[in-house]
Structure 1
Amino acid sequence: MKEDLIAELAQRLWQAGNGAAAVDSAMADRLDDLESAYAVESATRALAVAAGDRVIGYKIGLTSAPARDAFGAAEPAAGHLLAGRLLEDGRPLTTAGLFEAKVEVEIAFVLGEALSGPYVTAQDVHDATAAVAPAFEIVDSRWRGGARTLPMLVADNTNAARAVLGSRVVPPADLSKITATLSIGSRTVPGSATAVMGDPAKAVAWLAGHLLRGGTRLEAGDIVLSGTLCAPTAISAGDRLVADLGELGRVAVDVD
């Protein structure tokens, strides 16, 4: 019975991310553990690949203590990134097909070497990283009214919807010192890399251990969105989003 539930939820969530209606949250009442939630997320990934998309990396959510507290989570949560959801720098973001989109400002890691094992450190991540880039992640829930529980959030690929990467640069020695300013028209939202587990490289190290428990690892070439520096902020058509991450550079996108 649980296998049927996992397959049905995966199908509904995948369809909702491709133009269908949001999924009624009542369907998740029997989704009561993280193992099943990650199984749903894995099944949606398989559906995307079967439809011709390609997995290019991962995203990490709940990297701040307040975000984890809001969902009663003991650790961050992980999702996957799809090539078809990554926008080219300069290409506008369309809100068509999104429900209640929000923008997050992130540091994207581009790995030059594989990372595996339960004892990966922030320094290991730094040493294995070929480049970093300022990035936007557009998050959106495919559950009607949003995720109410941690399993709902995880099953929905941790709200991953779209991503935009700016220009890649050599990673500085200490990413924890990076600050960010998100501008949306006349509004500004401050942010800091310390909001991401104290250091975004620590978040990627956590991801390496998390993937190992599932029998996989981070590979050379993977892109990892390490967690948001700024509070998730609602966006709408007509907005111009600009994030300034100091020495990492800027990333910008227009919302249609």
Structure 2
Amino acid sequence: MTTWTIASAVHVLLDAENRRQDIDPLSDSWADFALETAYEVQDETLARRLMRGEHITGVKLGLTSRAKQFRMGVDTPLTAWLTDAMVLPTGDPVPLGRLIHPRVEPEIVFVMGEELRGPGVTAGRALAAVHSVHAGLEVIDSRYRDFRFTLPDVVADNASSGFVVTGSVALPPQDLDLALEACVLEVDGQVVHTATGAAVQGHPAEALALAANSLAARGVAIQPGWLVFTGGMTDAVPIRECGHVTASFTSLGTLALGAHAD
């Protein structure tokens, strides 16, 4: 078995990302790889990103829907980091040349209006801290071969972070029934998935509260202005060169992504 440390795991994951080379899950050779250790790897990876000039722009949740949990064989949601290097400007194509095997999923996104600090945050308290709600698309890109991983593996890999896109429609949360906010996901004009906000922990605000309470255990509060991607509403779909993925929401508008090889 490989002798792993937090430092060596960080190096391997960032190297796989930089080289666009998938790897076996860390848990294949790290016998006692635990969730607590995985979050330490995730946080140290963030520290390395900040040292190279990136800035925190928010947090994202992973595996908050039953569809994603079933697809990945994992039954617990998780939190991870967003930086400015992960934000794809609206209208820009997905740069496939920087990714390994990207997939796209639709999400409901919160822009925070005030600090949200756990523990003990409820969905109601979480929603009261939100400035605006947006449609979002996340491009996930696991560093693990065939998207095969355990929960600690995906936590260490920053929840398969790739890129995120946020829609321009901004609505106050009190104007929306987020549990009923529907999304139709299309690939090249064909409907492949539909879902509502209820797919995300019963209500996206529950996911936001989960993030605040989870981060509190790591000494972190969600900050004003941060983006919070609440997790995929549907299963993720692969995106390929010249392909198009479109997510149409009831009230939050429509987002589309194309891709190029550069």
**What TM-score does the superposition give when structure 2 sets the normalisation length?**
0.91
Contact 1:94 1:237 in 2 (8 A): no
Q: CA deviation at 1:166?
A: 0.9
- After TM superposition, the structure 1 = structure 2 runs for residues 133-212 of structure 1, keeping only pairs within 5 Å, are 133-170=134-171, 171=173, 172-188=175-191, 189-212=193-216
In the alignment, what sits opposite 1:91? Answer: 92
Q: Distance in 1 between matches of 2:176 and 2:25?
A: 44
Q: CA deviation at 1:104?
A: 0.6
Corresponding residue SS for 2:214: helix
Q: Distance in 2 between matches of 1:63 and 1:57?
A: 17
**Structure 2: 5+ residue stretches without partners:** none
Q: Distance in 2 between matches of 1:142 and 1:26?
A: 10
In the alignment, what sits opposite 1:40? Answer: 41
1:116–1:32 Cα change, 3 Å? same
Say whether residues 1:232 and 2:236 are aligned partners: yes
Q: Distance in 2 between matches of 1:168 and 1:186?
A: 22
Q: Distance in 2 between matches of 1:20 and 1:67?
A: 24
Q: Distance in 2 between matches of 1:12 and 1:116?
A: 32
Corresponding residue SS for 2:9: helix
Q: CA deviation at 1:29?
A: 2.2
Q: CA deviation at 1:4?
A: 5.7
Give the letter aligned to residue 18 of structure 2: N
Structure 1 residues 19-28 or 152-161, which shifts more?
Answer: 19-28
Contact 1:9 1:27 in 2 (8 A): no
Structure 1 residues 11-20 or 114-123, which shifts more?
Answer: 11-20
Q: CA deviation at 1:118?
A: 1.9
Contact 1:104 1:229 in 2 (8 A): yes
Corresponding residue SS for 2:231: strand
**Structure 1: 5+ residue stretches without partners:** none
**Matched pairs, number:** 254
Q: Distance in 2 between matches of 1:99 and 1:20?
A: 5
Cα shift readout 1:80-103 (whole Å, capped 9, x = no counterpart): 011011011111111112121110
In the alignment, what sits opposite 1:81? Answer: 82
1:116–1:232 Cα change, 3 Å? same
1:230–1:146 Cα change, 3 Å? closer
1:125–1:145 Cα change, 3 Å? same
Q: CA deviation at 1:23?
A: 2.6
2:217 to 206, 213, 224: 213
When the two chains are superposed, the root-mean-square deviation of aligned CA atoms in Å is: 1.9
Cα shift readout 1:192-246 (whole Å, capped 9, x = no counterpart): 2111001011100111100111111111111000011121111111112211111
Q: Distance in 1 between matches of 2:235 and 2:73?
A: 16
Give the letter aligned to residue 123 of structure 2: A
- Identity within the alignment, %: 31
